[in-house]
Structure 1
């Protein structure tokens, strides 16, 4: 793709935007970066060091509307005035993963999406390829941006975590292996509150795939099944499931605590007890990563070895410590109700649950059964805890309010008995009391370690 004298405008100067700007500049585009807010000093320095023009604190329409192509940050919605004007002008809008794809060369892509579990599955898939000695980078929503990786150090393989927002603005992006883990309502404000629009966005991961490509689907997921009744898929599909009867020649399933991966004439088996990440949801994640590894021609022994050596994600069901018989688990990344369902589903001990933060209009009915079964007390960690009290008061007899990680940990520890687990899985965003979910998780861990 020749870019000489063509004008590339980047909207948003965070990780993905700066990556696209550097790659575009390297490839001969005339690049201009525009951010409506303040650019982080580290990103500003990267633009300055590479002689890339930029603005912050607003958008100069005259400069933006002369673009040949606009790379839009996934965080900027289509309803933003500047985006409407760009589209009305007939200017191509693409996401950073789409822009990076155009300069990836002969490299191979494994792309992973889903409402929950995509970060863990991406890291595990990357770990499998890395353990097998592949030249591989982990990019997208986890790790560095795809475009920045291509700019700095192109690899033979990319494992990409992709969100629905990134998929919304793809045109040519075509993964060799695509994984769709699950689809539950999330970010519906970006999809006119129509769940089917969000489902269609997730399935864009396979829209350009050919019969020679692979799509890994969780066939136990109702939204995925529903979509398949009315849409055809061009890629070769393999299924992951808890029900062996749903698998024919190829796919993955769990039977009597054994995880089976059937691919290319082989049936690889691993005990679920040997997986370093626990819970049924992580069995799905492991099946998806294992199938992807087999499709990338990695030997069964290396995949088994990877399952046993994998260290999970920070802030995702992360073991912190055991203090006088009370176990502490950090799941600060659990920012929606479905994530909390997965976290509770994997608990085998009585739970003191830390919930709360910036509520996204949560419907707690989804976790009601698991809370009744497993939760002894709830410690609220947020500014506005009324929705939690209103929903749970009739069947959780102890609900305590706190406004700091330290207070929440002390309150939970006081409520816990030996053999209990204190689980931070908030179901909410963190911005009322913390910078982000990482900050919330770090403060939780520091408070536990200071007990």
Structure 2
């Protein structure tokens, strides 16, 4: 199929139509034909909507074929307004900003705009475990899923990771879902409710989408708690200043489960010396040495606490939790060990697209560091990295088109700052600057779209360059 043209399906009935599902005349337009959009389209068709999918970018061939297989009409590389502005409701990809022209026109017409999560939540009675935070949400989501899966629960994984939540609701029958929820998703969620809501932390990120106002971003993150009842559970970091400050005046009706590495908590988790303890009301106590955790570093103690409390709320046996936390393997592009060459460790942390993620990465490394960072700056404040850079970083290699902010932030802290424009160039220079026993760390603190297709592409090019050494 050529780009810039609509795809109208053949007149032959789809398998769902043959099964007796008939459109009810309600027009649902889906903007964005990635994983979430295509999944929402499949669920919408199953529920009998008049579905149309539109993507201003070029739809990947695999997704085009999937839409065609369900006889769902779509258009690629354009938005045809007369086919969109007649919608009764719109499901929007979280990547489309509110300032996009088509979104402004939909709002002017008063057409409801929701997220895939909001839409899919209408059609399942499964228990929802929803995890958000500026950092650590992917790791915590996968660790929680790992524990629940090991416990034998019938559980699906979705949201900002893995398969579309909506597609799973359409085609699967899970009793639980572990969902990674971004602030962009939360912005278009209204009636949806979690049963267990997890808020890991709130640090400056994506402020360009929130008028560069931290308060707006905090409000967005706290939407994870909307619609919670006294029967539900709110799991949160009690050490996070933004969470503690907002929570002091917020009315979150759920049962509270704080976790902390700084002090003992009530009905939650805490760290005492090197022992992680979880003690919930009316539940036996869970203890585990942090040295036995598969995920090391202070940030991962927090992630493990959040996952452990979730498991205890669901009454999973201590032995299963302990075993799962001990054998979990981390995700690709998140503090991923790539190789050790001539005594130099190479670590791929390409998923670190904000300053706080890079802080966590530097905090977890105990050697001298050659730091590769840079990309699309989202209004970053690099000052929180100053102390760690001064202590550990021997050179910074900028990987991006505009590196001025990095130079300004660190030119007095490190002796060497080098500009590069490819992963291969960055790796070669890093290798020559590194010494035996040190670490070359790709932890960009920035988005990737100036030089790469995605953070995955950036991480894969980094790994390929390391293997060429």
TM-score, L = length of structure 2: 0.92
SS in 2 for 1:244: coil
Pick from 350, 370, 374: which aligns with 2:388?
370
Residue 352 of structure 1 is matched in structure 2 by: 370
- State how far apart, in whole Å, the 1-side matches of 2:173 and 2:95 are: 26
How many pairs does the alignment contain?
A: 447
1:103 equivalenced with 2:123 (yes/no): yes
After superposition, residues 169-180 of structure 1 pair within 5 angstroms as: 169-180=188-199
Q: Which has the larger displacement, 10-19 or 263-272?
A: 263-272
- State how far apart, in whole Å, the 1-side matches of 2:422 and 2:301 are: 34
Asked if 1 retains the 8 angstrom alpha-carbon contact of 2:207 and 2:378, the reply is: no
Residue 261 of structure 1 is matched in structure 2 by: 278
How far did 1:3 drift? 7.0
How far did 1:142 drift? 0.8
How far did 1:334 drift? 0.7
Residue 48 of structure 1 is matched in structure 2 by: 68
- State how far apart, in whole Å, the 2-side matches of 1:7 and 1:369 are: 55
Asked if 1 retains the 8 angstrom alpha-carbon contact of 2:262 and 2:271, the reply is: yes
SS in 2 for 1:259: strand
Q: Could you list the per-position Cα deviations for residues 216-255 of structure 1 after superposition, in whole angstroms to 9, with x for gaps in the alignment?
A: 011111111111122111111110111233x12x101111
- State how far apart, in whole Å, the 2-side matches of 1:403 and 1:323 are: 23
Residue 288 of structure 1 is matched in structure 2 by: 306
Pick from 16, 19, 35: which aligns with 1:15?
35
Q: Could you list the per-position Cα deviations for residues 81-131 of structure 1 after superposition, in whole angstroms to 9, with x for gaps in the alignment?
A: 322232232322211001110111x31110000011100000000000111
Asked if 1 retains the 8 angstrom alpha-carbon contact of 2:194 and 2:225, the reply is: yes
Asked if 1 retains the 8 angstrom alpha-carbon contact of 2:208 and 2:378, the reply is: no
- State how far apart, in whole Å, the 1-side matches of 2:407 and 2:55 are: 40
After superposition, residues 310-349 of structure 1 pair within 5 angstroms as: 310-349=328-367
- State how far apart, in whole Å, the 2-side matches of 1:59 and 1:383 are: 30
Pick from 128, 133, 143: which aligns with 1:124?
143
- State how far apart, in whole Å, the 2-side matches of 1:283 and 1:192 are: 32
- State how far apart, in whole Å, the 2-side matches of 1:367 and 1:4 are: 55
- State how far apart, in whole Å, the 2-side matches of 1:379 and 1:35 are: 36
Q: Which has the larger displacement, 13-22 or 402-411?
A: 402-411
1:37 equivalenced with 2:26 (yes/no): no
Show structure 1 runs of 4+ deviating over 6 A.
Answer: none
How far did 1:390 drift? 2.5
Asked if 1 retains the 8 angstrom alpha-carbon contact of 2:207 and 2:379, the reply is: no
1:234 equivalenced with 2:266 (yes/no): no
Name the Cα RMSD after superposition: 1.5
- State how far apart, in whole Å, the 2-side matches of 1:157 and 1:3 are: 29
How far did 1:184 drift? 1.0
1:196 equivalenced with 2:224 (yes/no): no
Residue 433 of structure 1 is matched in structure 2 by: 451
SS in 1 for 2:436: coil
- Structure 1 residues without counterparts, runs of 5 or longer: none
Q: Which has the larger displacement, 335-344 or 352-361?
A: 352-361
Q: Could you list the per-position Cα deviations for residues 65-93 of structure 1 after superposition, in whole angstroms to 9, with x for gaps in the alignment?
A: 32222111111222223222322323222
How far did 1:428 drift? 1.5
Residue 155 of structure 1 is matched in structure 2 by: 174
- State how far apart, in whole Å, the 2-side matches of 1:335 and 1:113 are: 15
TM-score, L = length of structure 1: 0.96
1:398/1:90 Cα in 2 relative to 1: closer, same or farther (>3 Å)?
A: closer
